[in-house]
Structure 1
Amino acid sequence: MSLKKTGSRKLLPALALSAILAGCASIPRNESPDVYGMLYDGESTAAYATAFPVGSPAEAYGNGDMAARAGDFDRALFEYIRGLRLESEPVAEPLYRIGTIHHQRENHRLAELAYRWALEVDPDHGAGATALGIMQLEKRQYVEAAAQLESVTRSGNANWRTYNALGILSDLHGDFEEAARHFSDALNASPGNPVVLNNLGYSRYLAGDLEGARAALRQALRGNPRYELAWRNLGLVHAREGNYDAALDALARSGTEAEAYNDIGYVSMVGGRYSEATFFFQEAMRRSPAFYATASENARHLERRIRRKAASRQD
């Protein structure tokens, strides 16, 4: 994919750039102290510059894309930054791609710097605006995330990630019907996407629509049979239905046997099936001494619930 220039600003306004930099703990390692160097946090770049000469920004960006696909993120960062240095003005797309690498590495300050810089260059960069909203969601800045993501939808630049993140936000607020609408929009943008289908399935589980949850999760697993989170969520659906054999089979595909028994015990406890919950917690403790603390705490919680229920009956 070629990178096109967008926007006409030479650099971030000095005050805005200074404000963003003030949040960075230190200048990232880089031989050149130029303005883009602050976005680098990998190993020394001297070897890259010698081994991979380039003659244009497009060539550097192409090298960066190849390195990113190969998982060589240090070199990808170097190449994107080298391409930017060859430009006469900032370009939003490589700044966004730099942000995605830092985001993946959980280097949130540099990711936010890169995303905001990309949006300063091109306010209509939907992927960058969505990525910033997702990062805010991950940091539990829910009000900011909602405002950011909704602004992307209003601009007409939303992608499936935008709608998927809005669906998760709606779930967090308990508005499951709104969540379903957002996940539907995400699937219209990316049909059959296992990530969206998994989130839709879990949303329907939270809403008590077990049939809808099961259908969405099975569709997600048809798209990605090794999707562990979808297997876990399907196991929770089966556990709530009381189909324990199917629940154990599904949950065992996403974790240990002890974890599967503990999860079924917890779902049974929440559903008021206390005798089944006791059995599954005891099995979790028996099957994994290392898991004893978690399962035993759940068992104690169950015992307190049983006592409260018994006391209320006496009243």
Structure 2
Amino acid sequence: MLTRRNVTASTTLILILILGLGGCATNAQQQAGSDPYASLGSGGSSVEYGTAFPVASPEEAYRNGNAALRAGDPDRALFEYLRGLRMEKRPKADPLYSIGIIHHGRGNHDLAEKAYRWALEIDANHLGASTALGVALLEQRDFEGARQHLEPLVVRGKAPWQAYNALGVIADMSGEHGQAQSHFEKALEIAPGTPRVLNNLGYSRYLAGDWPGARQALRRAVSANPNYELAWRNLGLVYAREGDHETAIEAVARNGDRSKAYNDIGYISMLEGRYQDAMGFFHEAMRLSPAYYVTASENARNLDSLLRRNGSPAAN
């Protein structure tokens, strides 16, 4: 039978995206060649911007970059930030931080980390870069590295809500649910009603066994963002844990895929040791959709094997 630790480790994967940044960041100032910023570019930027939008100073380039970022044009923004840096005698932290944000949003995680670290070499107290690097390290499951960048912001009293939210996730992953919830509550004081934080608070309460508290926070999350699928999924977990299976299925099946919902709730039920419930959910998933027959039947077979290994009667 799976232990409580197994359950926590398995279900916590629902809470955060593990993106796995690759490799160690290098000092961008040590790149080969005459252009130290070349490694921070990407194929999306075009030199045509230089002739179409001439600038007279780095500050003008940075303003153009900020405007392009607000307008949803990261290619132009990246070009402008790099152009401004190339006009400077010394690198500056703010545009490097902005470059990191662009790369992070594109999934270029090692480039984002490189830009954040370079910004912090220039300004060790840069709030945005410290927070963003801490979050990036959390995403690659470097919890200690993330703490080292985020906790000093709390000590200095300058932590943004993202830092408290990330520290809450780290505490939950360590089983320190009370501390995690304190961090999430602090994040909500700074940014009231933020769906992501409400989801994390609700899930933390779920892990701690506080079903009513979890339900309350998760319902606030889906009220703030009715399309927040992860919060609906976590809300379904709460209903399933309380034994309200039909409401759980309705919550998880917000996208209309009830077979997937039955399979997912079955899987969570299996992790939590409610094997007969799990088997029923798997069979219903198989009945509803041929597309889920293979997945659900494999889960059912695994559950049957688990029961046999533990000396329990096999499920029908």
- What TM-score do the two structures reach when normalised by structure 1? 0.84
CA drift at 1:139: 1.1
Distance apart, 1:46 and its partner CA: 1.9
Q: CA deviation at 1:254?
A: 5.2
1:106 is the counterpart of 2:94: no
The aligned residue for residue 269 of structure 1 is 270
For the residues of structure 1 that align with 2:97 and 2:30, how far apart are their CA atoms? 19
* Residue 214 of structure 1, CA deviation: 0.5
Q: Is contact 1:201-1:213 (8 Å) kept?
A: yes
Residue 222 (1) aligns with residue 229 (2): no
Secondary structure of the structure 1 residue equivalent to 2:107: coil
Contact 1:112–1:132 under 8 Å retained in 2 = yes
Structure 2 counterpart SS, 1:192: coil
The 2-side partners of 1:277 and 1:254 are apart by 21
CA contact (8 A) 1:63 1:76 kept: yes
The answer to whether the 8 A contact 2:96-2:118 is kept is yes
Residues 124 and 155, structure 1, Cα contact 8 Å, conserved in 2 = no
Aligned twin of 2:146: 145
- Residues 195-214 of structure 1 correspond to what in structure 2 (within 5 A)? 195-214=196-215
* CA distance in structure 2 between the aligned counterparts of 1:78 and 1:271, rounded to whole angstroms: 50
Query: 1:297-308 maps to which residues of 2 (within 5 A)?
Result: 297-308=298-309
Alignment partner, residue 288 of structure 1: 289
Q: Secondary structure at the match of 1:41?
A: coil
The answer to whether the Cα contact below 8 Å between 1:176 and 1:204 also exists between their aligned partners in 2 is yes
- Work out the percentage of aligned pairs sharing the same amino acid: 57
Alignment gaps of 5+ in structure 2: 1-24
SS where residue 37 of structure 2 aligns?
helix
Amino acid at match of 1:263: D
CA distance in 2, matches of 1:264, 1:19: 44
SS at match of 2:27: helix
Alignment-derived partner of residue 15 in structure 1: none
Listed as ranges, the gaps of 5+ residues in structure 1 are 1-17, 28-32
Paired with 2:135 and 2:225, the residues of 1 have a C-alpha distance of 23
Q: How many residues align?
A: 289
Rounded Cα–Cα distance in structure 2 between residues aligned with 1:215 and 1:185: 17
Q: Measured at CA, do residues 311 and 256 of structure 1 come closer, stay the same or move farther in structure 2, by a change above 3 Å? A: closer
1:35 aligns to what SS in structure 2? coil
Look up the SS of the partner of 1:81 in the other structure.
helix
CA distance in 2, matches of 1:186, 1:254: 29
Question: CA 1:254/1:188 → structure 2, altered by over 3 Å: closer, same or farther?
Answer: farther
- Aligned-partner Cα distance in 2 for 1:44–1:222: 39
Preserved contact between residue 240 and residue 267 of structure 1 (Cα < 8 Å): no
Relative contact order higher in (CA < 8 Å, ≥ 6 apart): 2
Task: Tell me how far apart the structure 2 counterparts of residues 73 and 19 of structure 1 sit (CA, whole Å).
Answer: 23
RMSD between superposed Cα atoms in Å: 2.4
Give the Å deviation of 1:99. Answer: 0.4
Q: Distance in 2 between matches of 1:22 and 1:297?
A: 52
Q: Following the alignment from structure 1 to structure 2, what is the Cα–Cα distance between the partners of residues 288 and 230?
A: 24
Kindly tell me: are residues 134 and 279 of structure 1, through their superposed partners in 2, closer, same or farther at Cα, counting changes over 3 Å?
A: same
